[in-house]
Amino acid sequence: MQKMISKMAPKFPILIWMGFMIVALAFVIGFFNSQTAAAYFSESKVVRETTLLAERASIESTNLWLPYLKFLGLGMVLGGIVMALRVILDNLMQAGGKVLANLPADKRPAVPAAPWYGRLMPVVMMLGMLIFIFALIVSLQLASTARAVFANPLPVIDAAGAGTALLAQVQTIHATSAWLVPFKFFGIATEFLAILMGLATIAYVLKAQTEMLKKGVQAARTSMKQPKPVKQQEKAPVAETVAA
């Protein structure tokens, strides 16, 4: 799985670009929604509440799903940043390996394993994306419920009594929005957590590579201080060397 992620990570500009396009699209939709709202509120209250039902339904339903589309776009941009961090990490580790390859195999310090948070980073990023997609699906369902509610004149909606389907729909919209708003922030928090994990891994790798270089320098100095005849003896069996 890690290999597959490493192969996919260099395509991070696509993810960032797609995310940006979604946010830009959300802005355009928001602009048109504002135009509908401006036209709607230019009419008298009686006309608005009894005649302009489609406009009201459009405004209310768009207000319900549009923020989640924006957050999906932002999530994709953040996901792209996580992937970019992964590319930096892969390159850092490859470069470290190349530097160490200059040392003889027996003098080469052992490369430490990647930390758990480094391996978990892409999984957390994908979890964040799933949260955004789930929130968008729920908000689209809510938007369709809102369309059904606001297809009725406002006095009819207001008159809906306990146990009616209309009141149940109003209840669904309010109750779901109550948890869906913090849920999208939970998605943002997950994406930020993935970025933090990536940065912490970069800091870890940089520190570990500095330590390894230090060990490499010590190993190189030790081997250079040894006189040449000793180097020839290295090929001889250990027992003979000890005996000599």
Q: How far is CA 4 from the centre of its chain?
A: 17
CB of residue 15 to another protein, shortest distance in Å: 18
Give the whole-angstrom CA distance, residue 199 versus residue 193: 10
Q: Which of 15, 69, 138, 195 binds another protein (CB under 8 A)?
A: 195
Give the whole-angstrom CA distance, residue 204 versus residue 198: 10
Which tokens go with 35? 């135009």
25 vs 204, which CB is nearer to another protein?
Answer: 204
Give the whole-angstrom CA distance, residue 233 versus residue 227: 10
Which tokens go with 78? 């953040």
3-state secondary structure (DSSP) of residue 152: coil
Among the listed residues 143, 195, 133, the one whose alpha carbon sits nearest the alpha carbon of residue 169: 143
Q: Does 210 bind another protein (CB under 8 A)?
A: yes
Residues contacting residue 217 through CB under 8 Å, at least 6 positions apart: none
CB of residue 193 to another protein, shortest distance in Å: 7
Which backbone phi and psi does 115 adopt, to 5 degrees?
A: -65, 160
The region of 41-49, 55-63, 144-152, 210-218 touching another protein under the rule CB under 8 A is: 210-218
CB of residue 126 to another protein, shortest distance in Å: 18
25 vs 148, which CB is nearer to another protein?
Answer: 148
Q: Residues 154-193: x/- map of binding to another protein (CB under 8 A)?
A: ---xxxxxx----xx-xx--xxxxxxxxxx-xx-xx--xx
Which tokens go with 190? 């997950």
CB of residue 142 to another protein, shortest distance in Å: 13
Query: Could you identify the residue written with the tokens 């320098």?
Result: 217
Count of residues touching another protein (by CB under 8 A): 49
25 vs 60, which CB is nearer to another protein?
Answer: 60
The H or E element containing residue 87 is helix 53-100
181 vs 230, which CB is nearer to another protein?
Answer: 181
Which tokens go with 176? 């779901």
Q: Residues 74-113: x/- map of binding to another protein (CB under 8 A)?
A: -------------------------x--xxx---------
Give the interface with another protein as residue ranges (CB under 8 A).
99, 102-104, 157-162, 167-168, 170-171, 174-183, 185-186, 188-189, 192-193, 195-196, 199-200, 202-203, 206-207, 209-211, 213-214, 216-217, 220-221, 223-224
